[in-house]
Structure 1
Amino acid sequence: MTSRNSFKMLAIFLFAIAFTMTSCKNEKAEKAEETAQLSIDFEKYELENGLDVVLHQDKSDPIVSLAIQYGVGSNREKTGRTGFAHLFEHMLFQKSENVGEDQFFKKIQDAGGTLNGGTWKDGTIYYEVVPKNAMEMIMWLESDRMGYFVNTVTESAFYNQQEVVQNEKRQRVDNNPYGHTNWVLDKNLYPEGHPYNWQVIGELVDLQNATVDDVREFYDRFYGPNNATLVLAGDFEKEEAKQMIEKYFGEIKRRQEVEPLKPQPVSLETTKRLYHEDNFATAPQLNMVWPTPEQYTEDAYALDFLAEILSQGKKAPLYKVLVKEKELTSQTNAYNNAQELAGEFHIRITANNGVDLKKVEEGIFEAFQLFEKEGVTDRDIERIKAGLETQFYNGISSVLGKSFQLAQYNVFAGDPGFIEQDIENIKKVTKEDVMRVYNTYIKDKPYVMTSFVPKGQTDLIAANSEKAAVVEEEIKENVIKTVTDSNEEIAKTPSKIDRSVEPKQGEAPKLTIPDTWTAELSNGMDVYGIEQNEIPTVNFSLVIEGGHLMDSKDKNGVANLMTDIMMEGTANKTPEQLEEEIELLGASINMYTTNESIVIRGNTLTRNFDETMKLIEEILLEPRWDEEEFGRIKTKTINEIKRSDANPNVVANRVYDKLLYGEDHIFSYPISGTEEAVAAITMNDLKEFYNKNFSPSISTFHVVGKIDKEEALKSLRGLEERWAAKDVTIPEYPVANNRDKASLYFVDIPNAKQSVINIGYIALPRTDKDFYPAEVMNYKLGGSFSGNVNLILREEKGYTYGARTGFSGTKIPGTFTASSSVRTNTTGESVKIFKDEIAKYKDGISEEDLEFTKNALIKSNARRFETQFSLLGMLQEMSSYDLPPNYIENEEKVIKGMTLEQHKELANKYLDESKMAYLVVGDAATQFAQFKKMGFDEVKLLNKEGEEVTLEDVKM
């Protein structure tokens, strides 16, 4: 389940949808036609009990999405009783009167579907995507938790989810650099009692003090049908769907009436300046927030534009002053967060290491002066709108995306079709509006400012700052609380139908693999394509083999710097000009390095694909080698490497790779490089890498979208003619599982509120005949939410927000890894549970568990080909491992044919807990000593570089 941070993405998604009228067409008829194309057809009606129902048919894939949004977020809570909406989101996944413990996830996965939920300040949403034959089942499940749930809220079930939510808070907030920032900002921006004064996840003390009666009362108030919107999208027949909705939801009684909340914008009389010494941060960070109006207001739209103009791209004033001129940071970020009740305009600057935040604050105001001087141009407004048609289509490429949009507009605007008004509101924004809102809300206005600095570096805080009242949780000994429920049978709420009987599912949709085409260009580059005409966009990727494998150990990080420098202009375009060319096409292009490749990834409208490919050609074949940008990139990379030391998950993965692959393998070195290596890299190193390792002979182009083979190849003609092949040798490194003991390694992160656990060893490559069977074998151990390790560590014990296991292999042997982040005082027990469950799994699983695995993996293929992005992934997998177009059919045969004996044989062949590396990254002072008594063959304390140290070295 997700909380507010994840649902910020929903807000961004809706914002993107709003900017759909972005073309520069002049004729009214063309604009009217485009508006029609950008609408989403729907039917809305209301049940007698007040439930809003929205239906949208989309028969492009044999799947349906059901989303139910309730008008309750943390804004419905009270001081001292915070975190209830998010806690309740978790509670509703446990059980209901007619659905057993932990069966929501299991039943959806067994049907081949996926599900989740999320809570943010203004709402809560639950959703499922399943093959269409399971539509009635999800109606049954969702209606049961809407109307037949509250009697199942027992003390033990409630206590378990209290623990899970507290661990989510530790993982997202307490154990993360800058994790307490939003708490400090909201406490000081919003007065006591304002619905935005507290965090969605709530205060630990409130979560700990909550009672079952509190939960029952909250449910009765806010989770009735008259406070909800149901959206069904996908492949269904309307009359049949309406009958099902009436059958399962129609009899649920109305509950308390929920009055809509009125906007509550705030104002500040004076600027508030606060600081906090952050236990995990290695670089200082400055946040400035101004109060602004709520969503859908005229000024909120203009403030979105203002944030973009101030911070995004090389023309932005904040970038020019803070990055280019003063070199105080490598990235600038501003955004306007318009919500149901109030808005906030944010500027967030993570400074380079050791930078005084006083200078950052001064630089921000210098950028404001530059903005006032340069003003806003019509071209700025046009540039912002240019890419949003593409973003709109991307947002509605899935039935779930359309469900989200329709639900959100219905709840917050009262009309699922509000998109058209939203578009009109956006189209009205002018350059004068942008300057007006700047003068109204930002210029010379009070704000809340936070300075988060590393421990002991208070000299870096902004002037006149006061210490923020952040409450840090103490690490205490784990006390197991035993909660005993009464033996009374759960009372069943009366129903017109027998809800104890799960609806039967019809025949599952048959696997239909999209047609693929291939070609080989005259320069040796392979091309893979799929024509998909649902939306007028194209997604593509150019994969050049090699990547990090081409790095030398003494100059580690060259490949990564290559992908950064090549996006900084071309021989004929400055970095600023290239950026603008991409934006004006409404395209996105990015370049990145993986262990085994360099990838250029793009997304554009079909009508602009040819022009986009000309830019790709120019980027690839005419590098600019801009020395000034190279210096900035190096500084940015070095600072990111330093900051990564503050992230326990990054530290864990880095040390884990070093332990497993060994110092002689390039994979034991991070892709980004080390501080020393990056500092020593020169532009000549990059040119040498480029001249030696970039060739069409080791490259593959993948294209998916509303474009046929002929048109795609035509747009690739320039690359074919201009890019000559050369011989490239990709280094090979020996990889073997040569571990012969169970070793416990511990990396100290003082005062960590959670321990990051990685357990495993080298396993097998993706090309091995056993790789996919091994993935199937792993599914019930930890390959899904219903995996054994997650059910124990999260659902039974409440020690973690999630636990998993899995195989990762490419052409090079990957790892088997079991991982989780657990509450600090449960570290030892959690490691033991992992070890025991891996050992127990080799005894074999039940016929029921094997059947669950088969259903979940086979039936989920109905969702596998829905979006262009997923189809692009399929092409990349085919080309990387030389798989036939029907390789997914072959995978299904593996699943269907697996027996209990084969499953057990695979588990014994690839799971050996007695020879794994057990890595723990956490608080050594309280957790390290116990492992010397737990029967490991060796126990070692390491530093963040993976080197053995003593207790004295870490100054415990």
Structure 2
Amino acid sequence: MKKLASFTFLVTLLLLAGCGGKEKTKLTVPHETYKLENGLTVVLNEDKSDPIASLVILYHVGSAREVPGKTGFAHLFEHMMFQRSENVGEDECFKYIEGAGGDMNGGTSYDQTIYFELIPKNALELAMWLESDRMGFLRNTVTPQSFALQQNVVQNEKRQMVDNRPYGHTDVVILKNLYPEGHPYSWDVIGEMEDLANATVDDVKEFHKKFYIPNNATLVVSGDFEAEEVKALIEKYFGEIPAGEELKDPEPVTVTLAETKKLYHEDAFARAPQFTMVYPVAEQFTKDSYALDVLAQLLGVGKNSPLYKVLVKEKQLTSNVRIYNQSQEIAGQMQINVTANPSTSLDEVEKAVFEAFERFETEKFTERDLERIKAGIERNFYLMMSSVMYKGFMLALYTEFTGSPDFMLEELEMQRQVTADDVWDVYNRYIKGKNYVATSFVPRGQTDLVAAGSVDAGVVEEDITQATQMEVVAGGEEVIEKT
């Protein structure tokens, strides 16, 4: 199945809507928002600049809606939703859309699952039919055979993306140590393979029944269309799907660390040591989250940033430093990532990070630096607004998570209003002198390179020569009972 590249990064980027400059730009995003009787939220955005349209459906379900012992279900359904539904045959979704000259894909993160089509405007009804069929008519196609097949697909994906790639276990180690046991962000989106192996068809059907429902989703149509015609099509294809149970939105569950945790892993696939440092921070759509976005860029983005100057220019420990703020629905994290030069001590890397922090405190930053960064964030916002696809993503995200598509404009103003005092405030409250999680991933046999005080992370790497798969019984296409 096609994958949406770097989906988590995409969602993070989409949520960075803000900026600088003293001149306030008047921006409007024309839209009509309404709900069907079954609770499906609909946003229509007419944009006739090109004869194309996008259809985006965002379900308010990701790995954070799972529970311990039953993880990985949201990611599993990302796969199953592309297989078949009651009226769409096996693997025909892509064939229909690509045959019409369009593209489709989807992705799952901690807080949402999103599906989209980018199509010629005359294929919009086709996209609606496909999306409505897998929303309302998928569960009966989840059979023991199809479930076992997708269990194998997910197992193989984990082997490729986690077990058999350099630093693949980093996020898993960080999440388990940054968040307390049972916290919705304490497991990776792909889930625990043991949970998936123990899951039953009834388990996953119940998960779909609970979360993949009209009243837990937002549908956005953006592009070249006639509103009244599209409204009729939406009612035709989605109106008959029954609402599910009423769901409450998750509440923020931010965390603090009682102590710093430093862990290491001898990585069989790593050729150079990598150091990752993570601080718990505020959740999304808060005043702090916007100041944290700016802080991350001041600390490490650009050749004049303190992290780059100390680690790359002066000490030559690495060729690059990555830092980003990831404020999400119920909590957030700021992460610094350094893939060091071969044979470089990660203890020296850690010390250099703190030296860069000290440099930040002593050299500070100018108002011009602040405005430059805010202007860059706003530029990204406008670039995305120029695409019917990204505009569809943004309208879906803001509508589902804030209740209003217009919040994107409110957030733009909030980013504009970030001050130097705001940046210093979040630096002092979330970063300076605070506990953190740090990982040292080093090549096999090079534990002398790990940061001082690190303990073994206890990573269990699957021996692919001993890997087993769920049995998939052959026998042709299964007959299913239609709704």
Q: Same fold (TM over 0.5)?
A: yes
Aligned residue pairs, count: 481
- Alpha-carbon distance in 1 for matches of 2:200, 2:477: 19
Q: Partners of 1:235 and 1:102 in 2: how far apart?
A: 28
Instruction: Output the CA distance in 2 between the equivalents of 1:57 and 1:444.
Output: 50
**Partner in structure 2 of residue 22 of structure 1:** 20
* 1:184-583 map, 5 Å: 184-476=173-465, 481-483=471-473, 489-493=479-483
Equivalent residues in 2 for 1:648-727, closer than 5 Å: none
Task: Give the 5 Å matches for 1:143-154.
Answer: 143-154=132-143
SS of alignment partner, residue 158 of structure 1:
helix
For residues 478 and 384 of structure 2, the distance between their equivalents in structure 1, rounded to whole angstroms, comes to 48
Q: For 1:211, give the aligned amino acid.
A: T
Give the whole-Å Cα distance in 2 for the aligned partners of 1:424 and 1:482: 54
**Secondary structure of the structure 2 residue equivalent to 1:387:** helix
RMSD: 1.7
Q: Choose which of 171, 175, 183 in structure 1 pairs with 2:160.
A: 171
Q: Distance in 1 between matches of 2:286 and 2:43?
A: 25
Alignment of 1:125 onto 2:125: no
Work out the CA distance in 2 between the residues paired with 1:255 and 1:9.
Answer: 29
How far did 1:329 drift?
A: 1.3
What whole-Å deviation, never above 9, does each CA across 1:871-891 have from its counterpart, x for those lacking one? xxxxxxxxxxxxxxxxxxxxx
Give TM-score scaled by structure 2 length.
0.96
Following superposition, the deviation at residue 467 of structure 1 comes to 0.2
Whole-Å Cα distance in 1 between the matches of residues 409 and 467 of structure 2? 55
**CA distance in 1: counterparts of 2:15 and 2:328, whole angstroms:** 12
CA distance in 1, matches of 2:272, 2:76: 33
Task: Tell me the percent identity.
Answer: 58
Equivalences for residues 71-150 of structure 1 within 5 A? 71-150=60-139
One-letter code of the match for 2:349? V
Counterpart AA for 1:471: V
What is the alpha-carbon distance in structure 1 between the residues aligned to residue 97 and residue 427 of structure 2? 48
**What is the alpha-carbon distance in structure 2 between the residues aligned to residue 225 and residue 322 of structure 1?**
50
Give the superposition deviation at 1:487: 9.1
Match of 2:7 in 1: 6
User: Which residue number in structure 2 is paired with residue 513 of structure 1?
Assistant: none
* CA distance in structure 2 between the aligned counterparts of 1:432 and 1:87, rounded to whole angstroms: 44
- 1:153-202 Cα offsets, whole Å, 9 max, x none, are 11111111112222222222222111110000000000111000000011
Give 3-state SS (helix, strand or coil) of 1:261's partner: coil
- Output one character per residue of 1:619-657: Cα deviation in whole Å (capped at 9) or x when no partner: xxxxxxxxxxxxxxxxxxxxxxxxxxxxxxxxxxxxxxx
Unaligned runs of 5+ in 1: 26-30, 494-956
Q: 1:486 to 1:332 in 2, by over 3 A?
A: closer
Change in 2 beyond 3 A, CA 1:174/1:487: closer
The amino acid across from 1:35 in the alignment is K
Instruction: Report matched runs for 1:769-780 at 5 Å.
Output: none
Distance 1:428 1:337 in 2: 20
**1:485 Cα deviation from its structure 2 partner:** 7.4
Could you tell me how far apart the structure 2 residues matched to 1:268 and 1:186 are?
13
Provide the rounded CA distance (Å) in 1 between the counterparts of 2:8 and 2:171: 15
Match of 2:29 among 19, 40, 51: 40
Q: Is the 8 A contact 2:33 2:42 kept in 1?
A: yes
* Aligned 8 A contact 1:285 1:351 in 2: yes
Residue 22 of structure 1, CA deviation:
3.3
Distance 1:431 1:479 in 2: 55
CA, structure 1 residues 64+3, in 2 after alignment: closer, same or farther (shift >3 Å)? Answer: closer
Deviation digits for residues 755-813 of structure 1, max 9, x if unmatched?
Answer: xxxxxxxxxxxxxxxxxxxxxxxxxxxxxxxxxxxxxxxxxxxxxxxxxxxxxxxxxxx
**Higher alpha-carbon deviation: 354-363 or 484-493:** 484-493
SS at match of 1:416: coil
Cα drift, residue 109 of structure 1:
1.2
TM-score normalised to the size of structure 1? 0.49
> Relative to structure 1, is the Cα distance of residues 487 and 456 closer, same or farther in structure 2, using a 3 angstrom cutoff?
closer
Structure-2 separation of matches of 1:484 and 1:217: 26
Aligned twin of 1:532: none
Please, which runs of 5 or more residues in structure 2 have no aligned partner?
A: none
How many Å apart are 1:5 and its aligned residue?
4.1
Q: Distance in 2 between matches of 1:330 and 1:484?
A: 51
Q: Deviations over 1:677-711 (max 9, x none)?
A: xxxxxxxxxxxxxxxxxxxxxxxxxxxxxxxxxxx
Aligned residue runs from structure 1 range 804-823, under 5 A: none
> What is the CA–CA distance in structure 2 between the aligned matches of 1:257 and 1:470, rounded to whole Å?
39
Change (3 A) 1:389 1:290: closer
Greater RCO structure (CA 8 Å; 6+ sep): 2
The one-letter amino acid paired with 1:66 is L
- Spell out, residue by residue over 1:226-264, the C-alpha distance to the aligned partner (whole angstroms, 9 max, x if none): 000000111110001001101111111011221110000
Alpha-carbon displacement from aligned partner over 1:48-86 (angstroms, at most 9, x marks no partner): 100000000111221111110001000011112111101
Greater CA deviation, 311-320 or 117-126? Answer: 311-320
